[in-house]
Amino acid sequence: MTSNQALFERAQRVIPGGVNSPVRAFRAVGGTPRFIARAQGPYMWDAEGSRYIDYIGSWGPMILGHGHPAVLEAVQKAALDGFSFGAPTEREVELAEEIIRHVPSIEQVRLVSSGTEAGMSAIRLARGATGRSKIVKFEGCYHGHADALLVKAGSGLATFGFPTSAGVPPEVVQHTLVLEYNNLEQIEEIFATQGGEIACVMIEPIAGNMNFVRAQVPFVKRIAELCQQHGALFVFDEVMTGFRVALGGAQSVYARLIPGFAPDISVFGKVIGGGMPLAAFGTSRKIMQHLAPLGPVYQAGTLSGNPVATACGLATLKQISQPGFYEALGAKTQSLVEGLSAAAKAAGVPFVGDSEGGMFGFFFTAELPQNYGVVMATDKERFNRFFHGMLDRGVYLAPALYEAGFVSAAHTADDIAATVAAARDVMKSLPGA
């Protein structure tokens, strides 16, 4: 049996950092990444045969848990009919119809292969549809690694402490304005001075790339009003929150709090692919008229709407749209956060957590952070010690302070109880406990 360490050394000889996505390298928390051999339900087993209760779920997609029988069967059947054709298929239409059915703010979607592609294309569409160049994003939000958006990103880059990426020429980001999340004055100011030049404002409605920070209702409401007033488009990046926090995504949560609220463009990924490479962006038919082959905004992809990936996504959506799915998932996730909070309280460790649907986050601090600066100031040492203590006890949390956690339908009450029991143990050993 090859050890994780041996695999990591071998991987580093042929793959930069030994990983195909930086956060997997454990550089934020230290130690050796676990090379996963297989997964089933809420569990993953590493190359050494150690079992973990999985709270990453592939960073969101695995909302049903690993290896759901109906999804597995759909993927196996689709694969037998062919992997990829580079031609339209009925299943892409079915998946588009299903996404639109659950998200009333969109009339049409374009399927792509990653959240980065979806976010990048949404920006290009917003710029093409408005004829404007400026885009507004918020510090701490991560929308994939497209050049124009990789400015003060909140995911892997924040973990490495480099707020902007090397290799992005200044002229590429000259039109990208980065504001503070939840800062009303700044958004008022930017529209007052540059409103007529702004193509779109892009936001993670619940920022899972700052662990778990909610956009405040007045903030979201005001952005929507200002966009409307100045002819800019409001882009909701729901790659993480879409079909994860609710069947209608975070926008359905805000629509309950802000009468008539709807973003102009929505970006999806993760859950809609069920673990296979699939993402999407959606908007009104009117705005989509600008997109190739109808209009001048170019966008394309060899594997876009891939027949096996759409089968995986459709089978996943079929399961999660069953009545009561999100009520049960939300209650389970909430019980996890409450259990972790109780464990911290018993150990006298400052801790705060939050959750929505199957997504959760926590910080070693007293109050829920409202922006990137506050997140940066939370106790990293305690987080890292907690992460490793839990990993040693068979609980796999996100290996970075800036990442959210995910519960699946496959996690049982016993799994939650075992996690909380491990946390009680680890919290006692934290510095300052």
Outline where 274-377 has alpha helix (H). 285-288, 307-320, 325-347, 372-376
Site string for ligand KE4, 413-432 (x = CB under 6 A): --------------------
The catalytically annotated residue of 134, 137, 270, 332 is: 270
What residues contact residue 189 under an 8 Å CB cut-off, 6+ apart?
Answer: none
What is the smallest separation between the CB atom of 416 and ligand KE4, expressed in angstroms? 23
Which residue, 59 or 326, has its beta carbon nearer to ligand KE4?
59
C-alpha span between 271 and 71 (Å, rounded): 12
C-alpha span between 108 and 281 (Å, rounded): 8
Do residues 418 and 340 touch, judged by C-beta distance below 8 A? no
What residues contact residue 270 under an 8 Å CB cut-off, 6+ apart?
Answer: 58, 59, 60, 61, 115, 239, 240, 242, 244, 279
Q: Is 264 a catalytic residue?
A: no
What is the smallest separation between the CB atom of 122 and ligand KE4, expressed in angstroms? 10
Helix or strand run (H / E) with residue 43 = strand 43-46
Q: Is 142 a catalytic residue?
A: yes
Asked whether position 59 contacts ligand KE4 by CB under 6 A, the answer is: yes
Interface stretch with ligand KE4, choices 159-167, 174-182, 234-242, 345-353 (CB under 6 A):
234-242
Residues of span 6-25 touching ligand KE4 by CB under 6 A = 21, 23
Residues of span 285-314 touching ligand KE4 by CB under 6 A = none
Ramachandran assignment for 239, one of left (phi > 0), alpha (psi -120 to 50 degrees), beta (any other) = alpha
Asked whether position 155 contacts ligand KE4 by CB under 6 A, the answer is: yes
Which residue, 187 or 279, has its beta carbon nearer to ligand KE4?
279
What residues contact residue 331 under an 8 Å CB cut-off, 6+ apart?
Answer: none
Which residue, 21 or 228, has its beta carbon nearer to ligand KE4?
21
What is the smallest separation between the CB atom of 432 and ligand KE4, expressed in angstroms? 28
**β-pairing, 395-396 with 108-112?**
unpaired
Do residues 369 and 352 touch, judged by C-beta distance below 8 A? no
What is the smallest separation between the CB atom of 77 and ligand KE4, expressed in angstroms? 25
The catalytically annotated residue of 43, 52, 142, 326 is: 142
Which residue, 304 or 420, has its beta carbon nearer to ligand KE4?
304
Asked whether position 209 contacts ligand KE4 by CB under 6 A, the answer is: yes
Total residues at interface with ligand KE4 (CB under 6 A) = 21
Residues of span 386-415 touching ligand KE4 by CB under 6 A = 403
Which residue, 269 or 339, has its beta carbon nearer to ligand KE4?
269
Amino acid, single-letter form, for residue 218: P
The catalytically annotated residue of 46, 54, 237, 415 is: 237
Among 144, 242, 330, 353, the residue binding ligand KE4 under the rule CB under 6 A is: 144
Site string for ligand KE4, 254-273 (x = CB under 6 A): ---------------x----
Q: Is 270 a catalytic residue?
A: yes
C-alpha span between 343 and 362 (Å, rounded): 13
Whose CB is nearest to ligand KE4? Answer: 115
Asked whether position 55 contacts ligand KE4 by CB under 6 A, the answer is: no
Residues of span 99-128 touching ligand KE4 by CB under 6 A = 114-116, 119
Place of tokens 């922006």: 371
**β-pairing, 134-138 with 233-238?**
unpaired
Do residues 272 and 280 touch, judged by C-beta distance below 8 A? yes
**β-pairing, 206-207 with 198-203?**
unpaired
Number of H helices, E strands in the chain: 15, 16
> Under the rule (CB under 6 A), what is the footprint of ligand KE4?
21, 23, 59, 114-116, 119, 142-144, 155-156, 204, 208-209, 237, 239-240, 269, 279, 403
Residues designated catalytic: 142, 237, 270
